[in-house]
Amino acid sequence: MENNQEQVRQSFSKQLTQREVEQRTVLFPFDVVTSVFEFQEGQLFCIDAIDNLEKVWLFIGMFHNNEELGNCVSICLRQFSVEKGLKANDEITFTERPQQEGTRTSKRFKVEIKRKIRLFGQDIWGELMV
């Protein structure tokens, strides 16, 4: 008999700041990602992601706990940021994808970028298709 229970997919997102765009690194507050990752301070981790064009990306993240940054997770977006032309106020979303047991130690995600455009006096969020 087939199991019809749908796996819960966790996601986290935020709007990029000008500083994050310039540094090509996004910071997520720890409480936003704590249910998705298990962290140790200073330890690197990998995020295996696929974008809307089916291109695979590997992001490196790190947990930080210091006075300047507070408790947060940084995710490096260097090449992704350049190729996608990220701008301040773009929204980045990581949604966990199902993973086969025993295949990888990195988390697998879908990564989406949405940009706000103004159309006929209305703000509309559209997915960036680059």
pLDDT digits (tens, 9 = 90+) for 17-54: 999 999 999 999 988 887 887 777 778 888 899 999 99
54 three-state secondary structure: coil
CA pair distance 107, 124, nearest whole angstrom: 31
Q: In the chain, what are the domains?
A: 11-127 (2.40.330.10)
Its pTM stands at 0.80
pLDDT in tens, 71-118: 889 999 999 999 999 999 999 999 998 766 665 555 789 999 999 888
CA pair distance 27, 86, nearest whole angstrom: 15
- Which residue, chain included where needed, has tokens 């455009």? 117
Greatest alpha-carbon pair distance for the chain in Å reads 53
CA pair distance 92, 72, nearest whole angstrom: 16
Amino acid, res. 71: N
CA pair distance 56, 51, nearest whole angstrom: 7
68: its two tokens: 């300047």
- Are the C-beta atoms of residues 108 and 46 closer than 8 Å to each other? no
CA pair distance 96, 37, nearest whole angstrom: 11
